[in-house]
Amino acid sequence: MRVLVVEDDPGIGGGIMAALRNAGHAADLFTTLSAAWTALNVESFDVMLLDLGLPDGDGLELLTRLRRQPAPAPEATTGAQPDMPVLIMTARDGVSDRIAGLDSGADDYIVKPFDADEMLARLRAMTRRAAGRSRPEIEYGALRIDPAARQVLRDGQPVALGAKEFALLMALMQERPRVMSKARLESALYGFGDALESNAIEVHVHHLRRKLGDGLIRTVRGVGYFIPEEPA
Ligand code: CA
């Protein structure tokens, strides 16, 4: 998943970015409300991790603005998604912040200092709910996917997937049966600073088909890729 991190403390921000990347996610860090707002409007993120005390204002201002935003067109690959899951980061004594955050449209909160594994688990739970799926594991035909362990079984046998292959599989699974364009997939898998080959998505799809079977990921020529709602 592609995560937008808004945090002005360099130590906390750096720790969050390292944890997200280690877990195979694409992540971008911004330290001000204005930079984060710009990023939200030119890229597409799956989830936002939002600090409240920022140099140019309160994170809740950004959250409120986002929630009031009209939704971009369904085929748009960029643009602030008003219903994107948002996890706010609050201080231990910030009960009023947490209440205000949830009432402003945050989906969940996490209290600083927090454990990276807890943060990752909360992000997984939020994106799962946002995709309308409450069960953590995904069963699809002969595949069994465990997002927490980042493990895929095919007919009970573990399949070794690269971090980007796993991220691509999860993106298409969560969105199924919608078609995702190459641009949308690139934006889901790579942050602004990440090196990206022009055929990266095709290569990942090729590897996934080889490892998981040809019938899983379908191509819509000139448009993108999708996984059918139900396995063939
Ligand atoms: Ca701060």
Residues lying with their CB under 5 A of ligand 1, a single-atom ion: 8, 51, 53
Q: What averages of pLDDT result for each successive group of 10 residues across the chain (232 residues)?
A: 96 96 93 97 92 96 94 76 94 90 96 95 91 86 93 96 94 93 91 87 97 95 95 87
CA of 53 to the centre of ligand 1 (A): 4
CA of 7 to the centre of ligand 1 (A): 6
**The whole model's pTM is what?**
0.84
Per-residue pLDDT, 92: 80
CA of 188 to the centre of ligand 1 (A): 26
CA of 8 to the centre of ligand 1 (A): 5
Per-residue pLDDT, 159: 97
Would you tell me how many other CB atoms lie within 10 Å of the CB of residue 115? 10
